[in-house]
Amino acid sequence: MRRDWIHPRNLQEALAVRAERGAVPLSGATDLLVRHRGVAGTFPTLDAPIVWIGHLEELTAVTAGAHELRIGAAAVYTDIAAHPRTPAILRQTIAELAAPAIRNVATVGGNIGNASPAADAVCTLYALDAEVELASVTASRRVAIAELITGPGRTTIGDDELITAVYLPLGQDEFWFYRKVGTRRANALSKLALAACGRLDGRRLADIGVALGAVAPTVVRSGDLERRMRGAAPEDIAAMRNELISGYLALVNPIDDQRSTRRYRLRVTENLLTELFDRRLPFSLEGSAEHRGSRSPQR
Ligand SMILES: Cc1cc2nc3c(=O)[nH]c(=O)nc-3n(C[C@H](O)[C@H](O)[C@H](O)COP(=O)(O)OP(=O)(O)OC[C@H]3O[C@@H](n4cnc5c(N)ncnc54)[C@H](O)[C@@H]3O)c2cc1C
């Protein structure tokens, strides 16, 4: 049994052991140790050493600049939700993710690193146009989240890299709509989820991001369909809602698994898109502030 745990003093040390020893990063441990658990009561086994990064100050801060929010990769959900500039749609996503005990230790970097198609924060980060910052000993880079996640459990994170932060443009959720469909109110992974947000220009849509989670190998977002919605007034959205719904349905390809069935996921995806285009976007465009957010009831 391997118990090779490394406790670096800072980010540079963590990056060094990642590069030199191929150490696997561990943050909140709520995915990694569950995935590698063995017989109850025994220690999980991994083929590589583990480098713990959850305590590193360089990775835990949430800070707002003039135009964007920087969320450290090891910031826990409770702290992200508590920051005054965190977009409301992300706060709502966090409120429906797992349960308070998990949210006190689990991190957004872990949600991305795990790369599950049902990762709830990831779905909302797609809608918010998030960029992910990665670092190695020698370099750092910033990529759109959609470029980082390539399939279930697959990412383009290099063997020597760590996710260091997530950047969100501020003001991207003047209106928003979030629905997570799970079995229970707490500690239930998504059967599917929809996150939509954007900006207004008078009564027209200046910008919109629509992301669908757990209905394809990666989160589904469509640049083509979003381009068609940009500049649209409520009556334009009403006129093209059938094309929009069938456009999104053509992009999803859900599976049967332990949480749900392909048939259910297709039907509920259509229902959520219908709710978005028929009732949420016109309200958001015309309505008062209380219509500009929407809490998700369990279904
Ligand atoms: C009871 C329970 C309920 C849950 N409910 C939900 C839910 O409702 N929605 C949901 O989306 N998830 C849920 N999860 C899954 C999990 O809590 C989240 O995915 C969480 O965000 C993982 O974060 P972590 O810090 O615990 O990740 P870890 O387990 O520490 O790491 C996860 C993966 O990411 C990698 N990683 C971590 N940090 C980095 C980094 N900085 N750079 C590169 N790679 C990194 C690790 O090597 C590992 O492969 C649940 C888990 C449990 C146990």
Q: Which residue's CA lies nearest to atom 38 of ligand 1?
A: 110
Domains in the chain: boundaries: 5-169, 175-292
Burial class (CB in 10 A: 0-12, 13-18, 19+), 145: buried
Q: Which residue has the tokens 């890299």?
A: 161
Q: Is 272 left (phi over 0), alpha (psi -120 to 50) or beta?
A: alpha
Domain 175-292 part of CATH 3.30.390.50: yes
Burial of 239 (0-12, 13-18, 19+ CB in 10 A): exposed
**Distance between CA atoms of residues 198 and 189, nearest Å:** 25
Domain 5-169: which CATH number of 3.30.465.10, 3.30.1330.10, 3.10.250.10, 3.90.1570.10: 3.30.465.10
Which residue(s) pair with 24 in the sheet?
50
Cα separation values, 161 from 18, 147, 164, 249, 289, Å: 7, 15, 9, 35, 42
61 lines ligand 1 (CB under 6 A): no
Q: CA-CA distance, 279 to 238, in Å (whole number)? A: 10
The Cα–Cα gap between 290 and 18 comes to 47
Which residues partner with 235 through β-bridges?
none
The burial of 272, by beta-carbon neighbours within 10 Å (0-12 exposed, 13-18 middle, 19 or more buried), is given as buried
Q: What pLDDT is stored for residue 88 in this prediction? A: 96
What is the CA(114)–ligand 1 centre distance, in A?
6
The confidence score (pLDDT) of residue 284 equals 59
What pTM was estimated for this model as a whole? 0.94
Q: What number does the ligand 1 atom closest to the CA of 180 have?
A: 8
Strand, coil or helix: 205: strand
Residue 32 Cβ inside 6 Å of ligand 1? The answer reads yes
pLDDT digits (tens, 9 = 90+) for 218-251: 999 999 999 999 999 999 999 999 999 999 999 9
What is the reported pLDDT for 250?
98
Q: Please enumerate in sequence order all residues whose Cβ is within 8 A of that of 78, keeping only pairs 6 or more positions apart, or say none.
A: 100, 103, 104
Give the atom of ligand 1 at the shortest distance from the alpha carbon of 102: 17
Residue type, 60: T
- Closest-CA residue, ligand 1 atom 50, reads 98
82 contacts 76 by C-beta, under 8 angstroms: no
- Residues (pLDDT < 50) of the chain are 1, 286-299
Nearest-angstrom CA–CA distance, 222 and 121: 18
Establish whether residue 127 lines the binding site of ligand 1, counting it when its CB lies within 6 angstroms of any ligand atom: no
How many alpha carbons lie under 13 Å from residue 85 in its C-beta half-sphere? 16
Ligand 1 centroid, distance to 285 Cα (angstroms): 35
Q: Is 146 in the pocket of ligand 1 (CB under 6 A)?
A: no
